[in-house]
Chains A and B, each alone.
Chain A
Amino acid sequence: MIDPVVGGQFLAPGGGPVAELSRLPPDRSTPRRRTWYRQPALMAGLTITVIIIGMAVFAPLITHYNPIAQNLNDTLQGPSAAHWLGTDELGRDVWTRLLYGGRVDLRVGFIAVLFPFCLGTVLGSLAGYFGGWVELVIMRMVDVVVAFPFYVLIIALVFVLGPGERSIYIAITVVGWVSYARLVRAEILVAKRQEYVLAAQAGGLSNLRIMGRHLLPNVISQSIIYAMSDIVQDILAIVTLGYFGLGIPPPTAEWGSMINEGQSFLSTHWELTTIPGIAVVIVGLGLSLIGDGLADLHRPGQS
């Protein structure tokens, strides 16, 4: 069903579809069934994500408990009409903490992805467009960051900077920009040889304008697709930092610290650990489906 031109217009205007067509010829042998199937992936992902974000945003309307109010008379209770998912070791309602935890994890995850996205896109564009020593310096910086295992550098940076939201943003930016820089650079290396860029250069447009108005709209889609799975990685990092006690400080409800607190009661109350993890998996599923759907819109006929 997806016309490649429509697929191309998923990008911003400015020669996008034409450039896209000349580089990736549409695969006419693709059966229709496949593209029909692919649209629902995007829709399913959007549905899951919107529902979860909605539940987090409207948490105060969905539950009347306070996520951090302790009730030491009602600790470690099983699910009941009053407490849908039971209570934790301090008598706090688990369902409420799950909803409010989503507020924290989703907010931090979505904000955290913006900084590396912007930084990586800018540095990747500069490297791809100008080449030479600019590219050399930027790509050697990429090599250095990539040499550190993701979690090792994140944990080390947050430790040094001190736990909390600000440190998480800094750490994720320092570690995360390299993927965007690599993606954007690779796309620009191809795109800058296209006629529309040569035409813009011949027309005397400034480099900044060519990069911002002509190249970027055509190369950014790969980064947007990657950002979907990157948000999942960021949320996982935040949750993992919470597990190590380096994330959002207690008593704020947060999925990672919920899993960590439930750890002591694994043998008797396994649900305390399991449920927040399932929430993370569902968020990951929703965002991955959106990413896959976008990827297929962008590259019709490929799997």
Chain B
Amino acid sequence: MSFVGRRLLQLVPVAVGVTIVVFFMIHLIPGDPALTILGIHATPKSIAILRHEWGLNRPLISQYWLFLDRLLHGNLGQSLIYNVPASTLILQRLPATIWLIVYAAVIAILISVPLAMIAATRKDGIRDQVVRAVPLLGLGMPTFWVGFLLLTLFGANLRWFPVGGYGTGLVGHLHYMFLPALTVAIALAPVVIRSLRASMLTVLGADYITTARSKGVPGLRLFVRHVLRNAVIPAITVLGINIGFLIGGTVIIENVFAIPGIGQLMINSIFQRDFPVVQGVTLVFAVMVVLVNLLADMTYASLDPRVSFDR
């Protein structure tokens, strides 16, 4: 299977590029990184230690090699605040983030598929116009603002859902994470609805649909068995392309709903100026996006035999 091989080979430059970007983050700091990171109360000794540890006295290339060497040994650096490896902090918080991402993706699909079906079956009708207005409004809504509104309405006023936290056990997670996942899904749905509607319209115009219709396949059955099956593949691809958006949204939402994931860790570390942890989280986020995209491509290729790999 040469598709898989070539796709994996393509990961190499991306992986190298990602590590370069994360490495150079430290060097974008205006002035002396060690001084800026440790703040005004830093002692000359602590500055010297940090400089030595990060190899800041060495040439840039050898600093990068040091960074890469540590990375390959699973060392993301030491948290300046908690004095534990950044990887430990990240691994502790990763499950909550993955939960949120998967939950949000599922809700986004549950919202988008029926709405896209409603729109596509009556093209240009009232229902279609209403559904097509959703992205116009939805794309302009700040995610954290939607979170506040849902939090106020369903959390604080109606008390249907908790106002923050992660919950325990499967049911607890599903309950606690519903509003955050819904918020991310609302941000994602407009994009998915748009493309799903378009791909459904394409499928509806295909010859095999006309054939199925003329055979007398009833409406709903036609839609589920013939249209949805073929229209869902492009929608999954769109979801894969927007995985960066989905994952980025969790950074914001984890902070609104106080979910102990790596997005919250990132923002907390920013306020504590804990650079190694910020670097580590950024890297982990990029790795997640790359892996999910790879997975989406593989799924796509195995579902659709026509896929060949040339760009």
Q: Residues of A with Cβ closer than 8 Å to B?
A: 34, 140-141, 143-153, 155-157, 159-162, 229, 232, 236, 239-240, 243-244, 246, 256, 259, 263, 266-267, 270, 273-274, 276-277, 280-285, 287-289, 292, 303
A149 and B245: CB pair below 8 A?
yes
Distance in angstroms from A105 CB to nearest chain B CB is 11
Residues of A within 8 A of B149 (CB): 273-274, 277
B270 and A159: CB pair below 8 A?
yes
Distance in angstroms from A128 CB to nearest chain B CB is 13
Count of chain B residues with a beta carbon within 8 Å of a chain A beta carbon: 51
Residues of B within 8 A of A145 (CB): 21
Report if A266-B144 is in contact (Cβ < 8 Å); known contacts: A148-B21, A152-B251. no
Could you list 13 A-B pairs, sorted by A, with CB under 8 Å? A147-B14, A148-B18, A149-B247, A149-B251, A152-B281, A153-B282, A156-B25, A157-B25, A161-B28, A240-B252, A259-B142, A266-B148, A276-B145
Give the residue among B13, B142, B282 with the most A Cβ atoms within 10 A.
Answer: B142
Using CB atoms, name the residue of chain A closest to B140: A284
A140 to B143, CA, bound (A): 30
Residues of A within 8 A of B92 (CB): none
A287 to B135, CA, bound (A): 12
Residues of B within 8 A of A289 (CB): 136
Using CB atoms, name the residue of chain A closest to B133: A285
Kindly identify which residue among B17, B141, B278 contacts A159, using a CB–CB cutoff of 8 Å. Answer: B278
Residues of A within 8 A of B8 (CB): none
A267 to B14, CA, bound (A): 46
A34 to B132, CA, bound (A): 14
A259 and B141: CB pair below 8 A?
no
A160 and B28: CB pair below 8 A?
yes
Report if A144-B148 is in contact (Cβ < 8 Å); known contacts: A160-B29, A240-B142, A281-B137. no
Could you say which of B57-65, B223-231, B284-292, B296-304 contacts chain A?
B284-292
Consensus secondary structure, chain A interface: helix
B69 interface residue (CB < 8 Å to A)? no
B142 and A150: CB pair below 8 A?
no
A240 to B249, CA, bound (A): 11
Residues of A within 8 A of B140 (CB): 232, 236, 280-285, 287-288
Given contacts A146-B289, A152-B286, list 7 more A-B pairs with CB under 8 A. Answer: A144-B14, A147-B286, A157-B28, A162-B30, A273-B149, A273-B152, A288-B135
A266 and B248: CB pair below 8 A?
no
Instruction: Give me the 6 closest cross-chain CB pairs, A-B, nearest first.
Output: A284-B140, A144-B17, A149-B248, A151-B248, A277-B145, A149-B244
A273 and B248: CB pair below 8 A?
no
Distance in angstroms from B31 CB to nearest chain A CB is 10
A140 and B278: CB pair below 8 A?
no
Distance in angstroms from B266 CB to nearest chain A CB is 7
B139 and A141: CB pair below 8 A?
no
A270 to B150, CA, bound (A): 12
Using CB atoms, name the residue of chain A closest to B267: A244
Residues of A within 8 A of B28 (CB): 157, 160-161
B124 interface residue (CB < 8 Å to A)? yes
A303 to B151, CA, bound (A): 36
A240 and B14: CB pair below 8 A?
no
B110 interface residue (CB < 8 Å to A)? no
Distance in angstroms from A178 CB to nearest chain B CB is 11
A244 to B142, CA, bound (A): 13
Distance in angstroms from A56 CB to nearest chain B CB is 16
